[in-house]
Amino acid sequence: MNKVRRNSTRARAWAVIRKLRVFTIARLVRLTDANYDNLKRYIRALADAGYLRAEGHEMGSVRWRLVRDTGPLPPVMKTVRYIYDPNTGEEHRGRI
């Protein structure tokens, strides 16, 4: 079974991503008070799994767009190099 920690940094980030729809990592860091490198790894994993798409730049930072919103539970980046989505039960293997 795959547990989702509801108040983790990445859970907070996922909630903000769903609300904003378009964001930069710097803005996400400011809104979640999270570590930049942690969020950068998570964003890259979400992009590789097809949840986010890079859309140009905003003041030198990549602007990201949410393209696959599957629900309120955050997709989980697994150490065995895949994303698990608790909303759909799907696993997405990618370049994590």
The 3-state secondary structure of the chain reads CCCCCCCCHHHHHHHHHHHHCEEEHHHHHHHHCCCHHHHHHHHHHHHHCCCEEEEEEECCEEEEEECCCCCCCCCEEECCCEEEECCCCEEEECCC
Mean pLDDT per 10-residue segment, the chain (96 residues): 72 97 96 94 93 89 96 83 84 67
Domain 9-93 sits in CATH at 1.10.10.10
What is residue 96's predicted lDDT score, i.e. its pLDDT?
Answer: 47
- pTM for the whole thing? 0.78
Under 8 Å between Cβ of 77 and 10? yes
- CB neighbours of residue 2 within 10 Å: 11
